[in-house]
């Protein structure tokens, strides 16, 4: 069984620190178990901005992840502290969240 299938069947417990200024979700792709990162980082105005990258750090187009909502919608969810909803949206596409780091 692939890592993607294992995570899809048994979602790990994820915890984001209160008032985090940066949150990074490590994801596993349905294709070949490739690893990607959804990086939410607060800007100078205190709003989260989303950047999607691969292991190499190179950016990826948000539309490649098969999520029905827009990246702006995910940013607004993060601004409201609704990280469980962010994870649910990421998991609804071609990725599943494996772990989270926050600071």
Q: Give DSSP secondary structure letters for 12-77.
A: PP----TT-SEEEEEEEETTTT-EEEEEEEE-TTS-EEEEEEETTS-B--GGGG--SS-HHHHHHH
Residue 82 has pLDDT above 90, yes or no: yes
Does pTM surpass 0.95? Answer: no
pLDDT tens digits, one per residue of 4-62: 899 989 888 999 999 999 999 999 998 888 999 999 999 999 999 999 998 888 888 88
pLDDT tens digits, one per residue of 47-57: 999 999 988 88
Q: How far apart are CA 81 and CA 66, in angstroms?
A: 23
Q: How far apart are CA 95 and CA 59, in angstroms?
A: 16
**Rounded to a whole number, what is the distance in angstroms from the first to the last CA of the chain?**
33
Domain parsing of the chain, residue ranges = 3-14+29-102
Q: How far apart are CA 50 and CA 38, in angstroms?
A: 7
């Amino acid at each position: 069984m692939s890592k993607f299938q294992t995570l899809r069947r048994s979602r790990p417990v994820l915890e984001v620190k209160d008032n985090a200024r940066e949150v990074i979700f490590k994801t596993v792709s349905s294709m070949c178990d490739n690893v990607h990162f959804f990086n939410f980082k607060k800007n100078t105005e205190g709003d989260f901005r989303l950047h999607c990258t691969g292991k190499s750090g190179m950016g990826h187009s948000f539309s490649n992840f098969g999520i029905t909502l827009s990246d702006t919608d995910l940013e607004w969810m993060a601004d409201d502290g609704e990280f469980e909803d962010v994870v649910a949206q990421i998991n609804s596409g071609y990725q599943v969240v494996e772990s989270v780091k926050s600071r």
